[in-house]
Structure 1
Amino acid sequence: MTRFVVLRPEPGNAATCARLRDQGLEALALPLFAVVPVAWTLPDLARFDAVLLTSANAVRHGALPDALKRLPVVAVGDATAAAARSAGFDVAITGTGDARSAVDQARTKNLARLLHLAGRERAPTAGNVEAITVYSSDPVRVDDADIRATGAQHVLIHSARAARAFAERVDGAGVDRATIALIVISAAAGKAAGGGWREVIVADQPTDDALVAIAANRAIDPGARRGDKRVMSDQVPIDRSRARGPRLGVIIALIGLAFIAGLVAMGYAFKTVPWLGAQTAALTGTGVKSSAATTGNADYTPAQPLNANGETSAPAVIDTAVLATREATLAGQLSVLETRTAAVSADANSAAAQATRAEGLMVAFAARRAIDRGVGLGYIEEQLRLRFGKAQPRATAAVIQAAHQPVTIEDLRQGLDTIAPDITSTNGVAEGGWLKTVRREFNNLIVLREESMASPMPADRLARARRLLEAGQVEAARAEVARLPGAGQAGNWMAAARRYIIARQALDILENTALMGQAGQPQPSPIIVTTPIVPPTTEQVEDQPAPLTATP
């Protein structure tokens, strides 16, 4: 299949290759230049009537300021006009030829003074046109192997500079020009490429669409010339072509002689070759039998196919080697399809597992947030049962129970402030009577402890419990309260703290279950909870905890 090589720089190279592939053609991107911006200074715009753009690269890479948008744009080509409009410019004229024709067209609309924003390598323009370089097409290093790959191909050339550069690279790589066909955007580009090519095809219009149309036409009919402006000869233009009249007459005479000789040979064959007559008789007999079959004769037997000798042809021999090869090919293709199907199934299963894990985590996080805020679960309760009810039934029940009677850090802090005077006092009512209270007070007169050890004084323990609550360490705060002299009077607070701890432990278990991918499906071996979710207590029933107040 013929490939079409595109030499223009990016992003135009990718656009041309895409148009070629849309036509069902094989395109090879081989940019010889790369467009880069060039620093420039904006002149006084009062001296100009319009902006002349001959390439979309000026818009893409020229870093054009918004001040230029006050002037109308004279664009050369539809692509340049489209790029200017996309950038916010007002396109007054869209030329279909070269820059000079666009300048002449602008003068008819009183746009004589033009500011040409162009590349460093450009063709000169006539008239009151001031050119400023805003971008440059720098050469790109291309290996000789890539140049040699263009042999026997069609090469699309969008500028005279690209034509000259490609011709130099072809000669330097040792590629025969006669094997390459050029499709050039203009006659100037064709002349810049030089001679010696297989053919040089010039587009009707200097547009990329015209080049793509020629390429598509060539792919269908390599000898076609439709859609071309002209096909340039590989010979020097000043050489006169040789007359073709005598040569054409000789060819016609040879064709006539060959036709007469063929007729004579065919007549001789009919007379001398016996199997030709036998074949005619066999065909006639077959026609008779076919006629008999149409009459409805029950004794009619269809004639078997005859070979060249008028004999019944033998059944075609089945080549078992060919069948085995085809079977092996089909088996290989089937194996590839099965492998791909298995890979797709594995990816789908993995995605489903990840989605289940993510949904379980979201439900667990939503439940934790609701419990931390002290509000009900709502619809999250049903989601907890569906996703964790089979894998972790005890943890799920504990979370739902805690949501029915929520306990927050703020509740524990306020309750601790309320019972603080009672649990730190030693008024003799505490456990052990007044004698034990006096002994405790006497022991606290002098306390010897290591410097690193925490103070056992009730006030210090209470302060530590408050700090631990602020940090969210409820279990440690509960242990400090349990060591206070009046801890026996903090039963309700201790029970509420226990419910808070149990709820968070249950939430931790549900989150771990979701992370392990066990949420949303029954598990044969659920996570073993070493700490009981609802430990037995003799102080009071925790299903209906009392208000967080001190016990009288």
Structure 2
Amino acid sequence: MTRAIVVLRPEPGNARTAAALRALGLTVRQVPLFAVRPVAWTIPELTGIDGLLLTSANAVRHGGAGLDAVKHLPAIAVGATTAAAAAGAGFAVAVTGTGDARAVVSEARDRGFARLLHLAGRDRSPTGVGDAYGNDGADDSTGGIDSVIVYASDALPLDDATTRSFEDCLVLLHSARAAARLAALVDAAGVDRSRIAVAAISEGVGEAAGRGWASVSIAPQPSDPALVALAVAGANTHAIDHPARGGDKHVMSDYVPTDRPRARGPKMGIILALTGLAFVAGLGLMAYASRMLPWFGGTQATAGSTGTGAATTAQTQGAGSAGYIPSQPLGPNGEPQAAPPIDTAVLATREATLAGQLAALEARTAAITSDAAAAGGQATRAEGLMVAFAARRALDRGVQLGYLEEQIRLRFGQAQPRATMLLIQAARQPVTLEDLRQGLDTIAPDITTSTGEGWLDTIQHQIDSLIILRKAGTPSQIPTDRLARARRLLGAGQVEAARAEVARLPGATQAGNWMDAARRYVVARQALDAIENAALIGQAGQPQPAPVVMPAPEPQTPAVETAPESPGV
């Protein structure tokens, strides 16, 4: 007998799980305990944030318009379902976990994501992330993880009659909160827990359900497909002798066959007699062959029994020698000769020679294998360098990467995930030195003078600049001289130094767009340097699928705000 399965998770996950179970021919009841709704939230300060932590697909579904402001951050997804939802919403998934939140955060730390922004639910259970970094997991701000609530899961009313209908069913638990509420509803309705079987998505969820259930099964992996597979096995397992039904196992074992086996008749004796006669006949034929057939070791009788003894002997020898195949060389009289003695010294010499040749072949094979492996590694390194150099050339020309984007992601996505992400984002809005020079020339009149000054302040500044005293070797502080130095630094490719000079000009507040473009230029080159170093030291791999998943470029791409500058890109 197959028991019914109760799915308690909220929509839209409830419908997906129920559809998967019904496709397998199971009886499913959909009783969601919670309803997920969006929560109004404000975007926190993103300075120093390296990535976005997503522990539930609900954060992507109900995050609202605020998600557009954080889409430039790499996403850290707790599982494949959350990663798929994030990629579908336009996020760049850098890390996809296979366990719980603590495991995926640890993996993100190993890949260089020091500080994360967690888009969380209001009534979430402690994930354990904070336990590893200095707090209890409910507020992760002190452990390098800032949390912001973007959705809430409100409890739906459930009457006692519906709760009592869970008896003799298998209930699926997708969260610790659902497990705790199920236990409370069952106890409040006076239902015997031993009449309900439970299947939990993880050990933590199973512990939250408590004890006393008919059975508690844990999915081998914390995913809905694994829980569905566990439910299929649990639904087909039903007690034969349930105590509530007063069954009797003994009755099912009292089997009495209705057909009696047929008795063996006289045909069996005839078969045995024929078998014995055939065996005796075979022995007689073998004895005859051993005496009469020459190839069987015997002598062939002559056709006639008369004649002289010499003629008879000659005929017998002639008949015998006609079909004889000697196994040893014969002497002059036709007699077999003894085999020559074996020279052990010659055999030892031959064995030593063969052993030496075999050792030489093995050494040559090992050398060829080593050379082939080295050549393969050098070829992989050369291919990685070619891809990195081609990417640098595309950035210097101000064009998008095109097919190089996929090559960079597949070859360097695992070794340098953050640098790969920043490089691909910068290439979608490329900035060249010529763009920076033209932009600086355009804003030069605005940034060399202070905004908001009256004509008296302007005259005062002109008088003050007539005579300036400074130490020898100290750069001039006059705005025009700073602007000239910034232009020279741009011509030498030192964008960071030119950006620092522009920041000290009186009208630097008017150069916001130029400063942002210069910062994107610097971040892109730092990411490209990290990728080239990875290619030089042999970290570039063969084109294999990597966890980094980049969305396809849209027709209208909004301005991408790259992560803050960091020397260790």
Q: Could you say which TM-score interval applies, normalised by the shorter chain?
A: 0.3 to 0.5
Higher relative contact order (CA 8 A, sep 6+): 2
| TM-score, length-scaled by structure 1 | 0.41
